[in-house]
């Protein structure tokens, strides 16, 4: 009984040991210390490995040879990622905020499918649940967290998002109209691949984006003429998103280079510069 | 008789009741009042729903299950859109101008096919006429009306339309020449898919726009060499429309940012700004 | 005899009648007078019609119905184009220079195949010579002559031609290396479509330009991996020619807008402006 | 014996004859003298010819006719390239540095496979070793050495390499996620081409880069919907690398034009100018 109480006390202590929490927080959440850096690199390695395991599991011909090893590494990875998730919750100053953040949810989703498959482990539903386990691939999104350069790209896209949305709406209208027209032209013949409007719209998207699988192709002269028009249209309007993004990137670059040095007040710094080239003062970097 | 005359008087009154007209006009044509906004949102919802119904009708396997419901909702949608069209004509100060405008014609076209199918509704021609009813998909164009951002894209395209027309003429010449050459090279073999010049031109367009269905592919070494040249050509000249649109968008952006504030006279505002960042005065927005 | 000499004299007169020459020259070569404009429009109409006839002739199923009419219109078109060619030679002040110019050669080539097919008109070789007659499609290049806007596009391409040549050389090296690698990987299996290096290079071009016919596709895992790398490479380097042309077009636009008005000396005119927006003086248009 | 010693002495002399070394160095490594230019042009011709021989050797149907000639020219080319490699090593002031440079290794690799095939010339392994000989195609990379214009393109790519790497990482994450999702959706049916995740990822890359072979295509409505989304995504994000490269090229161009003349101090020279347009002084060309 005394032992039990002691254990509980120890546990209570551990749960509220602010110094330990802080030390773990520095290792797990930050990457400035050598330990933190090591942890991050090891985590990336683990994530990549676990993704490779998921991919390898899907190859049926490998299953008889290395299947058991893959399943075992499965257990190990899930154990580590669960531990990591619990530690993150434990050491985070605001656990709820972390749990509801994008990466909190991704961290949870990357371990959960394994347990669901383990508890409701009847033979029949196992296969369906295994597909859920594949969501662990999204763990890979964590990789993105470690890079700051991505922000410029994201900002350029966000900056021009309104124009891109309008563009997509326009494409949607085009694609629905063209798909319906092609259904009217090609769909009357029997055995035509344009057998309903959704398939015709699918064809219109395949054609307009210049993907061109060739699983659905026009057979009638009129259908071929219309699809030629659609291709040339797609070929031209591919210029629109490119133009939007190019223009916003050049804008972004100009803003960066016209940024004034807080020390000497001069501008026109090179893109990517962190220090003023005139006085050596640190620039207020836009994307950090 | 008296009742009849009263009804006619009432009708005459209604037809010339300028206040009612104005009130309906504000709801239907404008979107600044709460009622006008509600009307617009409801209309968008209706348009999207009616398009989904048209698309669903084309799926043959669904017909036995939800076919009757789809046809009934068809009646309801057509009734509402007809009512809307009549009200627009009624309350518009210049009904003829509305009727002949782009959206007036689209509004008419989106209800008309239903009535045509209803009047000439004999069993034999039903199928052909039903395809006409599919034109109701053009209803989707109405969605375009509700967005102002699209004007910038359209202006950029109109602005560079002359260059794009020349570019297309150039592409047309290339495509006809290449199609004919390929017919000369590949068309001599029997069972070749290049069996006439229109098909060869279709192939040239499919190749040059980098769509590449693969329904028509060269078989002879010379044909493969020529098509490789065509691909590299298409790969390079895809840059031309992109360059045109990019350049005109950057130009557009610069014009916007060099727009002078009518209050303090300073320029170089951010793109999309509605107020001067120096004095807070409202800018004369270019695309509103 | 006297009649004969008279005819010769008349002919001599006609051949040296400078006023008639000049009048015809104005009609045929220039398009400022109403007659000249009419001639140009009629010529374009004739060229388009004659191309449509060539295209229609290649459709075998139409031959039994409208074949004779097509062949007859063939005679008429050839007669008119020959007459036009002779008149151009006649009224041109420097006939040799015209005959050796690009359009002089195109004009000749667009009538010549017909006569070759007429003189050596044996049944057996007729088919081969008919393909030569298809070169008349190049007549279409004349269409290009009537447009001045094309010069800007051409100049942008010429301006960046050195960079584009280096880019193509780079693509060529890549395509040969990748084609050979794929032949080493995929070509060992029997029945592989990668049966020799030229076919592998053809595949590399089809893939890199994102055309993707699908007539030759990798089957082995290693081949699929390499082709995925090639696709991503092609996807990225498609940006290079676009970037080159965009940059040179923006440059071109800037040069145009920085052009000084010869009357008031101010610059920053809109692109495409023919008159100074400050003083109304005519600008020295760059691309005329 | 005396003769032998003399030969050795002669050899020793030759090996240390600095004047001869220098003369050969000027011919082989430089291209300013007429002899050096001639050597370079002849070398390019030889490289192109030897590549054509390798390509021709792979065409099986030609083997019986010109096979022996190809194999003989093989011997001659290898002799010349070996001689060239030895001479380069001999006359280079720092032979080790050359041997370890990019072109030193390419030069070695372009002759080595022939000797390996000659020494281990048993009938059985011959075929495998022959594929190694195909590496001589990399000889073609030498072609790149003779062009300076390529540096601008390379610099533009290097300059924006960080952004492009992040972009590729982003594409990789997308492609793995989408591939896994499609495996979950389409892979359940038997005989589906989406039979494992690597194949699904391969499909995702084929689709996203708009290549679209059509060897793997979705069959289910949900799969088609997802692939339509992927296409539109790929269609939009194709704009990102283009935008990156365009922006960096425009930047590069601006830097060039803002380069100051070392003689008169004025800037804003045309791109590609070698002399100042104000004072005629030579500009310090950026990419030479």
Cβ contacts of residue B141 below 8 Å, gap of 6+? Answer: A173, A177, B103, B106
Q: Which residue of C has its CA nearest to D62?
A: C196
CB atoms within 10 A of CB A172: 15
Q: Which residues of A touch B152 (CB under 8 A)?
A: 163
Asked whether the predicted pLDDT for residue A12 surpasses 90, the reply is no
Lowest mean pLDDT among B155-164, B195-204, B213-222, C214-223: B155-164
User: What is the Cα–Cα distance from B52 to B43, expressed in whole angstroms?
Assistant: 14
Q: Given a contact as 3+ CB pairs under 8 Å, which chains touch B? A: A, C, D
Residue pair D118/D32 in contact (Cβ under 8 Å)? The answer is no
The pair phi, psi for residue D186, each rounded to 5°, is: -95, -25
Q: Given a contact as 3+ CB pairs under 8 Å, which chains touch A? A: B, C, D
Confidence category of residue A5, pLDDT binned at 50, 70, 90: confident
User: What is the Cα–Cα distance from C234 to C208, expressed in whole angstroms?
Assistant: 4
The pair phi, psi for residue A249, each rounded to 5°, is: -70, -40
Would you call C245 and B250 a contact, using CB atoms and an 8 Å cutoff?
A: no
CATH annotation of A151-257: 1.10.287.70
pLDDT at position B235, please? Answer: 79
User: What is the Cα–Cα distance from B244 to B156, expressed in whole angstroms?
Assistant: 10
List alpha helices for D110-196, DSSP H. Answer: 112-119, 126-133, 141-145, 150-159, 161-186
| Distance set, CA B288 to CA A160, B141, B144, B147, B285 (Å) | 18, 20, 15, 10, 6
3-state helix, strand, coil in chain A (%, to 5): 75, 0, 25
Would you call B210 and D210 a contact, using CB atoms and an 8 Å cutoff?
A: yes
Q: Tokens 């069959």 appear where? A: D219
User: What is the Cα–Cα distance from C269 to C254, expressed in whole angstroms?
Assistant: 10
Lowest mean pLDDT among B195-209, B232-246, C115-129, C209-223: C115-129
- pLDDT tens, position by position, C233-268: 887 777 777 777 777 777 766 665 555 556 665 555
Lowest mean pLDDT among A36-50, A136-150, B206-220: A136-150
Task: Give percent of chain B with pLDDT exceeding 90.
Answer: 3
What is the 8-class DSSP label of residue B261? P
Cβ contacts of residue A180 below 8 Å, gap of 6+? Answer: A197, A200, A201, B54, B134, B137
Calculate how close chain D gets to C282, using CA atoms only, in Å: 25
Across the interface, of B210, B214, B221, the residue whose CB is closest to C214 is: B214
**CA A38, chain centre distance (Å):** 24
Highest mean pLDDT pick, A45-49, B122-126, D136-140:
A45-49
Closest CA to D222 of D192, D182, D188: D182
Mean pLDDT of A263-286: 53
Pair of tokens at residue C247:
């940059």
The pair phi, psi for residue C285, each rounded to 5°, is: -65, 130
Q: Which residue of A has its CA nearest to C250?
A: A247
Would you call A238 and D235 a contact, using CB atoms and an 8 Å cutoff?
A: yes
Q: Which residues of C touch A211 (CB under 8 A)?
A: 212
- CB pairs B-D closer than 8 Å: 9
pLDDT at position D146, please? Answer: 45
Q: Which residues of A touch C210 (CB under 8 A)?
A: 210
Asked whether the predicted pLDDT for residue B47 surpasses 90, the reply is no
Q: Which residues of C touch A246 (CB under 8 A)?
A: 246
Lowest mean pLDDT among A122-136, B6-20, C27-41, D177-191: A122-136
Asked whether the predicted pLDDT for residue D203 surpasses 90, the reply is yes
* D 103-122 residues with CB < 8 A to C: none
Residue pair B53/B73 in contact (Cβ under 8 Å)? The answer is yes
Would you call B236 and C238 a contact, using CB atoms and an 8 Å cutoff?
A: no
Q: Which residue of A has its CA nearest to B251?
A: A247
pLDDT at position A4, please? Answer: 77
Q: Which residue of B has its CA nearest to A161?
A: B149
Q: Does C59 touch chain D (CB under 8 A)?
A: no
Calculate how close chain A gets to D169, using CA atoms only, in Å: 8
pLDDT at position B127, please? Answer: 47
User: What is the Cα–Cα distance from A25 to A90, expressed in whole angstroms?
Assistant: 9
Q: Does D196 touch chain B (CB under 8 A)?
A: no
CB atoms within 10 A of CB C166: 21
Please state the ipTM of this predicted complex. 0.76
Q: Given a contact as 3+ CB pairs under 8 Å, which chains touch D? A: A, B, C
pLDDT at position A204, please? Answer: 92
End-to-end CA distance of chain B: 54
User: What is the Cα–Cα distance from C84 to A137, expressed in whole angstroms?
Assistant: 71
Does the pTM surpass 0.90? The reply is: no
User: What is the Cα–Cα distance from D21 to D40, expressed in whole angstroms?
Assistant: 18
The residue among C55, C247, C253 with the most chain B CBs within 10 A of its CB, best to mutate, is C55
Asked whether the predicted pLDDT for residue C271 surpasses 50, the reply is no
Lowest mean pLDDT among B20-24, D9-13, D65-69, D211-215: D9-13
* C 213-232 residues with CB < 8 A to A: 213-214
* Helical (H) or strand (E) element with A32: none
Confidence category of residue A286, pLDDT binned at 50, 70, 90: very low
- pLDDT tens, position by position, C60-86: 888 788 888 888 887 888 888 888 888
Would you call B247 and C242 a contact, using CB atoms and an 8 Å cutoff?
A: no
Confidence category of residue C206, pLDDT binned at 50, 70, 90: very high
pLDDT at position D202, please? Answer: 92
Q: Which residue has the higher pLDDT, C246 or C197?
A: C197
User: What is the Cα–Cα distance from D240 to D238, expressed in whole angstroms?
Assistant: 5
* Torsion over CA: C142, C145, C146, C149 (sign): positive
Would you call C166 and D150 a contact, using CB atoms and an 8 Å cutoff?
A: yes
The residue among A55, A127, A173, A211 with the most chain D CBs within 10 A of its CB, best to mutate, is A211
Closest CA to D170 of B16, A122, A157: A157
pLDDT at position A260, please? Answer: 58
| Distance set, CA B65 to CA A22, B62, C257 (Å) | 62, 6, 64
Across the interface, of C176, C232, C240, the residue whose CB is closest to D51 is: C176
What is the 8-class DSSP label of residue B138? G
| Distance set, CA D87 to CA A251, D91, D138 (Å) | 53, 6, 20
Would you call C206 and B238 a contact, using CB atoms and an 8 Å cutoff?
A: no
Q: Which residue has the higher pLDDT, D141 or A52?
A: A52
Q: Tokens 């004349």 appear where? A: C142
Q: Does A241 touch chain D (CB under 8 A)?
A: yes
Asked whether the predicted pLDDT for residue B145 surpasses 50, the reply is yes
- pLDDT tens, position by position, D37-87: 788 778 777 877 887 887 888 888 887 888 888 888 878 888 888 888 888
Closest CA to B171 of B234, B244, B239: B234
Across the interface, of D135, D202, D271, the residue whose CB is closest to C251 is: D271
- pLDDT tens, position by position, D75-106: 888 888 888 888 888 888 888 888 887 777 77
Residue pair D261/D281 in contact (Cβ under 8 Å)? The answer is yes
Q: Residue B252 class from Cβ within 10 Å (0-12 exposed, 13-18 middle, 19+ buried)?
A: buried
What is the 8-class DSSP label of residue D259? P
> Hey, what CATH class is C16-142 in?
mainly alpha
Q: Which residue has the higher pLDDT, C112 or D72?
A: D72
Q: Does C210 touch chain A (CB under 8 A)?
A: yes
Mean pLDDT of A16-40: 79
* Helical (H) or strand (E) element with A210: none
Strands (DSSP E) along A31-180, which ranges? none
SS (HEC) of chain C: CHHHHHHHHHHHHHHHCHHHHHHHHHHHHCCCCHHHHHHHHHHHHHHHHHHHHHHHHCCHHHHHHHHHHHHHHHHHHHHHHHHHHHHHHHHCCCHHHHHHCHHHHHHHHCCHHHHHHHHCCCHHHHHHHHHHHHHHHHHHHHHHHCCCCHHHHHHHHHHCHHHHHHHHHHHHHHHHHHHHHHHHHHCCCCCCCCCCHHHHHHHHHHHHCCCCCCCCCCCCHHHHHHHHHHHHHHHHHCHHHHHHHHHHHHHHHHHHHCCCCCCCCCCCCCCCCCECCCCCCECCCCCC
pLDDT at position C129, please? Answer: 44
**CA C45, chain centre distance (Å):** 17
The residue among D61, D246, D250, D254 with the most chain B CBs within 10 A of its CB, best to mutate, is D246
The residue among C125, C176, C205 with the most chain B CBs within 10 A of its CB, best to mutate, is C205
Residue pair D51/C198 in contact (Cβ under 8 Å)? The answer is no
* B 136-155 residues with CB < 8 A to A: 137-138, 140-141, 143-144, 147, 149-150, 152-153
Asked whether the predicted pLDDT for residue B229 surpasses 70, the reply is yes
Asked whether the predicted pLDDT for residue B236 surpasses 60, the reply is yes
Instruction: Report the greatest alpha carbon distance in chain C.
Output: 90
Q: Does C134 touch chain B (CB under 8 A)?
A: yes
| Distance set, CA C271 to CA A246, B165, C151, C256, D250 (Å) | 20, 17, 15, 7, 19
Q: Which residue of A has its CA nearest to C239?
A: A242
The residue among B176, B224, B239 with the most chain C CBs within 10 A of its CB, best to mutate, is B239
Confidence category of residue B180, pLDDT binned at 50, 70, 90: confident
- pLDDT tens, position by position, D226-241: 999 999 888 777 777 7
Pair of tokens at residue A114:
């394994």
**CA D49, chain centre distance (Å):** 17
Q: Which residue of D has its CA nearest to B239?
A: D242
Q: Using the CB atoms, write b or e for D170-186: b if 16+ within 10 Å.
A: bbebbbbbbbbbbbbbb
Residue pair A203/A216 in contact (Cβ under 8 Å)? The answer is yes
pLDDT at position C227, please? Answer: 92
Residue pair B238/A238 in contact (Cβ under 8 Å)? The answer is yes
User: What is the Cα–Cα distance from A200 to A217, expressed in whole angstroms?
Assistant: 10
Strands (DSSP E) along chain B, which ranges? none
Render D74-87 in DSSP notation, one character per residue: HHHHHHHHHHHHHH
User: What is the Cα–Cα distance from B228 to C207, expressed in whole angstroms?
Assistant: 11
B16-142 matches B151-257 in fold: no
3-state secondary structure of D275: strand
Would you call B211 and A213 a contact, using CB atoms and an 8 Å cutoff?
A: no
User: What is the Cα–Cα distance from A52 to B174, expressed in whole angstroms?
Assistant: 47
Q: Which residue has the higher pLDDT, C243 or B135?
A: C243
Boundaries of every domain in chain C: 16-142, 151-257
- pLDDT tens, position by position, A85-118: 888 888 888 888 888 876 777 777 777 767 766 6
Q: Does D260 touch chain A (CB under 8 A)?
A: no
pLDDT at position D288, please? Answer: 33
- pLDDT tens, position by position, A210-257: 888 888 899 888 999 999 999 988 877 777 777 777 777 777 666 655
Q: Does A131 touch chain D (CB under 8 A)?
A: yes
User: What is the Cα–Cα distance from D203 to A161, expressed in whole angstroms?
Assistant: 28
Strands (DSSP E) along B22-63, which ranges? none
């Amino acid at each position: 009984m005394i032992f039990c109480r002691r254990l509980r006390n120890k546990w209570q202590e551990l749960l509220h040991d602010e110094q330990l929490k802080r030390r773990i927080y520095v290792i797990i959440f930050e990457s400035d210390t050598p330990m933190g850096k090591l942890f991050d690199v090891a985590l990336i390695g683990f994530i990549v490995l676990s993704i490779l395991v998921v991919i390898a599991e899907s190859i049926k011909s490998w299953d008889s040879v290395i299947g058991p090893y893959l399943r075992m590494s499965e257990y190990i990875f899930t154990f580590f990622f669960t531990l990591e998730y619990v530690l993150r919750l434990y050491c985070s100053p605001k656990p709820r905020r972390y749990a509801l953040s994008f990466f909190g949810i991704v961290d949870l989703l990357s371990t959960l499918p394994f347990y669901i498959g383990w508890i409701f482990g009847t033979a029949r539903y196992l296969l369906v649940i295994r597909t859920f386990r594949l969501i662990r691939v999204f763990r890979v999104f964590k990789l993105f967290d470690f890079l700051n350069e991505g922000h410029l790209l994201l900002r350029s896209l966000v900056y021009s998002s309104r124009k891109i949305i309008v563009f997509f709406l326009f494409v949607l209208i085009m694609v629905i109209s063209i798909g319906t027209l092609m259904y009217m032209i090609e769909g009357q013949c029997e055995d035509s691949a344009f057998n309903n409007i959704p398939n015709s719209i699918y064809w219109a998207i395949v054609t307009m984006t210049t993907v061109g699988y060739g699983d659905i192709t026009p057979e009638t002269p009129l259908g071929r003429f219309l699809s030629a028009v659609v291709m040339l249209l797609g070929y031209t309007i591919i210029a629109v998103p490119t133009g939007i993004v190019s223009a916003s990137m050049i804008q972004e670059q100009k803003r960066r280079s016209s940024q004034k040095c807080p020390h000497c007040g001069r501008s026109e710094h090179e893109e990517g510069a962190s220090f003023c080239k005139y006085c050596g003062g640190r620039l207020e970097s836009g994307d950090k």
